[in-house]
Amino acid sequence: MKDASRMFTGIGLARILALAAIPILSRLYEIPTFGYLAVYIAIVMICKIMVNGGYEASIVLPEKDIEARALFKLCVKINWFLFGVISLCCLLLFQLFPHERMVQLLGSSIWLLALPFSILLEGKSLALKYWLNRKKAYAGIAKAIVAQTLATIGFQILFGLLNFKWNGLILGFILGELVFPLMMLNYSKFEKRIIPKELVTSVARTYRKFFQYGVLGGWANALASNIPYLLFQQNFGSAMNGHFSMANQKILAAPTSLVASAVSPVYYRTAKEAALRRDGSLAKLTWQMNKALAALILPLTILFFFWGPQIFRVVLGTEWELAGSYASWLAPFMFIRFIVHPLSFLIDVRMKLKQQLLFNIIYLFAILFIFLYCVNIAPALDVIKCFSLISTVLYLGYFFYLMGLTVDRP
């Protein structure tokens, strides 16, 4: 896991900087502004699953680099095509969708027109990140994430100090998105070579399961992870959603984000190599990683579970105490999500995309039940409790299934 430690150094710095900026941002911007940002990010995260057709995850798999380049080229083509489709849809929504509803969700209808560009940038970033992971250019990924974080929080703080007319949190997020792929492109070092169309077509057929099941499964997971912010805001307003997003999206998601950026790509590559050896090393590698991750996240889980409101009140300000109450109930979900995230790459290693799709659909229906039904009969805090309990139980079951995939079978 030496490669993971290298990633942790740079990416850990980025996450620390992002967390350090939150007490500043929480005092520069009003609580509803964070709710609007949560909705914007949620829409981007839902849409970015499809922007490369799901093929980006297969870039690390081919033995030959030219096949991986063909997959990268395929991702780029799909990315640009869907950018055009999404742009057209957003223009139509801008003209036809009630202005009041857009303001309720995003604070201003202008951000609807920015969404296609955010989704385009996310697609480029995904493909480049998997390419750099294939080339073991972990330092490049880490530096790109640090640069993105510095750009995002730098612009957000600047716009907040200047009392910028538009939502400075969203604009800073978009500018950070732009920095990330530009930095990774600098480290990609693509060789000049012609990729035959026939090869692009061939790899598209070979790895079509990533399109058939990966997109659907990823979309179901993205909906389950992000639609709560849309529905919570619709039912309880932008201020309550600001508290929810601060607890779950900004604070408690930070450890999982660190694992996603640092550990997951390295585990994906090493797990693939261990699976090919079929000597039991995959199970051993996975248990070692699980023990290390559990030791890292357990102290934070205990801290937030017992003293969430007090921590948020002192660090972010007295007006954020409700977010701390949300964090207390969401802490167990943070623990299991932190451990499960890197394990989910076993689905790609073992090509169990149908099973992943099934889990994601079950989880999505559970989330829809909570945020479509429970929101109408229970107060916000009880909805958060239900969300945390159901999510923790389902992810725990998913954990045991994934651990079963580490066993080498005939």
The 10s digit of each residue's pLDDT in 352-369 is 878 888 898 999 999 999
* Helix (H) / strand (E) containing 220: helix 215-236
User: Tell me, what's the pLDDT at 13?
Assistant: 81
Predicted pLDDT at 409: 77
Which pLDDT score, from 0 to 100, does residue 308 have? 96
**Cβ–Cβ contacts within 10 Å for residue 196, how many?**
10
| CB of 119 closer than 8 Å to CB of 47 | yes
**Pairwise pLDDT comparison (189 vs 406), residue with the higher score:** 406
pLDDT at residue 128 in the model: 94
- Which two tokens mark 114? 């920015």
Residue spans of the domains in the chain: they are 2-404
Nearest to 17 by CA among 169, 201, 148, 189: 148
Q: How far apart are CA 242 and CA 18, in angstroms?
A: 17
Which tens digit of pLDDT belongs to each residue from 166-213? 789 999 999 999 999 999 998 887 777 778 889 999 998 888 877 766
Q: Assign 248 a pLDDT band (cuts: 50, 70, 90).
A: very high
Please report which confidence band the pLDDT of residue 1 belongs to, taking 50, 70 and 90 as the band edges.
Answer: low
> Ramachandran region of residue 45, left (φ > 0), alpha (ψ -120 to 50) or beta?
alpha
Hey, is 360 helix, strand or coil?
helix
The pLDDT confidence band at residue 15, using thresholds 50, 70 and 90, is confident
The predicted structure's pLDDT at residue 8: 64
pLDDT at 230 over 90: yes
Tell me how far apart the alpha carbons of residues 105 and 231 are, in angstroms, rounded to a whole number: 10
| pLDDT value of position 103 | 87
Predicted confidence at residue 27, as pLDDT, reads 93
Distance between CA atoms of 282 and 267, rounded to whole angstroms? 10
pLDDT above 70 covers what percent of the chain? 96
CB atoms closer than 10 angstroms to residue 2: 8
Return the closest-CA partner of residue 195 out of 187, 184, 203, 206. 203
| Alpha-carbon gap, residue 52 to 63, rounded angstroms | 21
Q: Please report which confidence band the pLDDT of residue 151 belongs to, taking 50, 70 and 90 as the band edges.
A: very high
Q: Of 216, 356, 348, 159, which is closest to residue 269 (Cα–Cα)? A: 348
**pLDDT (0 to 100) of residue 3:** 56
Given a contact cutoff of 8 angstroms between Cβ atoms, the answer to whether 165 and 224 are in contact is no
Measure Cα distances from 407 to 219, 240, 277, 286, 338 in Å: 28, 44, 12, 10, 22
Predicted local confidence at residue 5, as pLDDT? 62
Structure tokens belonging to residue 4: 């993971």
User: Which one is predicted more confidently, 312 or 49?
Assistant: 312
Residue 214 pLDDT grade (very low, low, confident, very high; cuts 50, 70, 90): low
Whether the predicted pLDDT of 286 surpasses 80: yes
CA–CA gap between residue 91 and residue 100 (Å, rounded): 16
Average pLDDT over residues 72-88: 94
Q: Are 24 and 156 in contact (CB under 8 A)?
A: no
Give this prediction's pTM: 0.85
Query: With bands split at pLDDT 50, 70 and 90, how would you rate the model's confidence at 83?
Result: very high
